[in-house]
Amino acid sequence: MSLFSLEGKVALITGSTKGIGKAIAEQMAKHGAKVVISSRNQDACDEVAAEIEANGGEALAVACNINYPEQLQALVDATLAKWGKIDALVCNAALNPFFGASQDIPDEAFDKIMRANIGSVHKLCQLVLPGMAKAGGGAVVIVSSIGGLKGTDKLGAYAISKAADMQIARNLAVEWGKDNIRVNCIAPGLIRTDFARALWENPEIYEATVSKYPMRRIGEPEEIAGAAVFLASAAGSFTTGQTIVIDGGGTIAG
């Protein structure tokens, strides 16, 4: 189906050795893209890249800690050295080192969340977008969260960083639209990943959680990956500056 084809494109996906990021990388590869697999651990990157290649895809494994701008630069450089361009940038890696009230979060944790989650998206876009523009355009997909849409008493700093993703998408959509670059967010709800394991592994907690969701279940990683493929492909070529919420209706019901 050519509308969703990524044939000939290069996609760089951060945080792509597990969960949502891995599903996005797998799906983008299945739809024809060459993919860059990245997370902190080189072995994990190599393993996922090998899986993708075993399934007929093309993958490059580059370890990168999004906390360090020089590592982000190296990630982009390695991609350009190998394939010469980046058509799709997927900013998926994020961290959350603190769970609790805003009153109690240590300065270092707050700074780390802002630097890693917001700063890395900003920096990666600075590094990638000029080249993307020169090559005729492309797509940025930022994996935000429904946490950035509502108030929270436990994940305050993380939620601030996720709300910032949505504003980055709006700003950069306006700034880079003339260069045929589109910038969008996906805001997943609760998805079956390690990140959210505590919320779905225990059947009682699971039932209590999903009973408030219209679809009465949590999402699967591939149900996020589909939106990423859509946004990076010709099918999504008039969609920019937006945040696509994928949560089975959890947010609108709450």
Partner 1 sequence: MVDSENFAIADLFSLAGKTALVTGGSSGIGLNLAKGLLINGVRVVIASRKQEKCDEALQELAPLGEVSAFAADVTKPEDRAALLEFCGAKLGSLSILINNAGSNWAAQLQDYPDEGFDKVVSTNLNAVFSLTRDAIPLLELAATEEDPARIINIGSMDGLQVPIVQRVPTFAYSASKAALHHLTRTLAVDLGPKHITVNAVAPGFFASRMTDFVFDKYLSDIEDECPLHRIGRPEELVGIVTYLASRAGSYTNGTVIPVDGGTSVSKGKRDWME
Q: Which residues are catalytic?
A: 158
Q: How far apart are CA 46 and CA 60, in angstroms?
A: 8
Under the binding rule (CB under 8 A), the answer on residue 175 touching partner 1 is: yes
Full strand arrangement of the beta sheet holding 88-91: 58-61, 34-38, 10-14, 88-91, 138-143, 181-188, 243-246
Under the binding rule (CB under 8 A), the answer on residue 242 touching partner 1 is: yes
Question: Which span (23-31, 88-96, 115-123, 126-134) binds partner 1, by CB under 8 A?
Answer: 23-31
Measured from the CB atom, the residue of 98 and 230 that comes closer to partner 1 is 230
Binding partner 1 (rule: CB under 8 A), the pick from 14, 17, 27, 193 is 27
Under the binding rule (CB under 8 A), the answer on residue 135 touching partner 1 is: no
Closest distance of CB 26 from partner 1, Å: 6
Under the binding rule (CB under 8 A), the answer on residue 9 touching partner 1 is: no
Under the binding rule (CB under 8 A), the answer on residue 122 touching partner 1 is: no
CA nearest 224: which of 15, 49, 86, 24?
A: 24
Binding partner 1 (rule: CB under 8 A), the pick from 85, 135, 177, 199 is 177
Measured from the CB atom, the residue of 66 and 125 that comes closer to partner 1 is 125
What is the amino acid identity at position 47?
E
Number of residues that bind partner 1 (CB under 8 A): 55
Under the binding rule (CB under 8 A), the answer on residue 247 touching partner 1 is: yes
Residues 162, 144: contact at Cβ < 8 Å? yes
Binding partner 1 (rule: CB under 8 A), the pick from 11, 24, 26, 124 is 26
Structure tokens at 88: 């799709």
Q: Is 116 exposed, middle or buried (0-12, 13-18, 19+ CB in 10 A)?
A: buried
Under the binding rule (CB under 8 A), the answer on residue 246 touching partner 1 is: yes
Under the binding rule (CB under 8 A), the answer on residue 193 touching partner 1 is: no
Closest distance of CB 103 from partner 1, Å: 33
Q: Is 68 exposed, middle or buried (0-12, 13-18, 19+ CB in 10 A)?
A: middle
Under the binding rule (CB under 8 A), the answer on residue 245 touching partner 1 is: yes
Residues 227, 28: contact at Cβ < 8 Å? no
Question: Which span (72-80, 108-116, 153-161, 220-228) binds partner 1, by CB under 8 A?
Answer: 220-228
Structure tokens at 61: 């494994």
Closest distance of CB 244 from partner 1, Å: 6
Helix axes 156-176, 120-134, angle to 10 degrees: 20
Other residues' Cβ atoms within 10 Å of the Cβ of residue 81: 9
What is the amino acid identity at position 194?
D
Under the binding rule (CB under 8 A), the answer on residue 1 touching partner 1 is: yes
∠ Cα 116 118 120 (to 5°): 55
Binding site for partner 1 (CB under 8 A): 1, 3-4, 23, 26-27, 30-31, 55, 169-170, 173-178, 180, 182, 189, 213-217, 219-227, 229-230, 233-242, 244-249, 251-253
